[in-house]
């Protein structure tokens, strides 16, 4: 059985951190393509792949994002080389004939808006989690944030589309001096049951 070694586990989990400060080092375009190549392989229900990602990099796009940021997230986001708007397509089911061709999966969702919304949110959030881990695997650092005005981001970036924002993820090479202290995690007995 092949498993990851301790170095890889540290990079992905045990020593990886949520970053608040960034070096000036750019994130190459090729790295973003590799990142998406990894993210898209993570599992989603019926292969529905509802996540959509906007890589906010230019000064103009950052300026569009700025008014939507909570005050505590403003400085770190404006200084990050890239901020990902992790979003989802509420009409994700339009791609199911291509993504899940052996069944009429589109009909499951067009017949139930509530199921469509729940499915989009669940799977897009999973995919954004895959993105955090994929970024770490490629040597980047990530800083996820939900402290922003979703309606404002949707109006600025997604007006007239079926896309909606979920959360933001700063990407780049983190500045370890800006990390907050590591917080405790739950023990197995507090978070898990074996049934």
Positions touching ligand FMN (CB under 6 A) are 17-18, 72-73, 144-147, 167, 182-183
Nearer to ligand FMN, 74 or 95 (CB): 74
Which ranges of the chain would DSSP assign to H, the alpha helix?
A: 6-9, 29-39, 59-65, 71-79, 96-99, 105-110, 113-137, 150-158, 188-191
Structure tokens at 153: 């981001």
> Shortest Cβ distance from residue 122 to ligand FMN (Å)?
14
In this structure, the chain runs to a length of 195
Q: How far is the CB of 49 from ligand FMN (least distance, A)?
A: 20
State which residue, 72 or 97, has the beta carbon closest to ligand FMN: 72
Instruction: Provide the minimum distance between the beta carbon of 186 and ligand FMN in the complex, in angstroms, as a whole number.
Output: 12
Closer to ligand FMN at the Cβ: 2 or 185? 185
Q: CB nearer to ligand FMN: give 158 or 167.
A: 167
Please report how close the Cβ of residue 30 comes to ligand FMN at its closest, in angstroms: 26
Task: Give Cβ neighbours of residue 93 (< 8 Å, ≥ 6 apart).
Answer: 48, 105, 106, 108, 109, 110, 116
Neighbours of 115 (CB within 10 A): 13
Question: Is residue 54 helix, strand or coil?
Answer: strand
Tell me which residue has its CB nearest to ligand FMN: 147
């Amino acid at each position: 059985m092949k498993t990851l070694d301790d170095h890889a586990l540290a990079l992905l989990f045990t020593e990886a951190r949520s970053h608040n400060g960034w070096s000036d080092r750019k994130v190459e375009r090729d790295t973003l393509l590799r990142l998406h190549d990894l993210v898209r392989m993570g599992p989603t229900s019926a292969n529905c792949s509802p996540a959509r990602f906007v890589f906010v990099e230019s000064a103009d796009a950052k300026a569009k994002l700025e008014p939507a940021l909570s005050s505590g997230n403003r400085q770190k986001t404006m200084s990050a080389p890239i901020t990902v708007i992790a979003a989802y397509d509420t009409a994700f089911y339009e791609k199911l004939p291509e993504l899940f061709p052996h069944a009429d999966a589109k009909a499951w969702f067009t017949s139930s808006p509530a199921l469509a919304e729940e499915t989009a949110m669940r799977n897009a959030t999973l995919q954004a989690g895959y993105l955090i881990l994929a970024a770490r695997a490629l040597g980047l650092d990530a800083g996820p944030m939900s402290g922003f005005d979703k309606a404002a981001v949707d109006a600025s970036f997604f007006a007239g589309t079926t896309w909606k924002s979920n959360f933001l993820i700063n990407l780049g090479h983190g500045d370890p001096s800006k990390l907050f202290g590591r917080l405790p995690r739950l023990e197995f007995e507090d978070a898990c049951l074996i049934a």
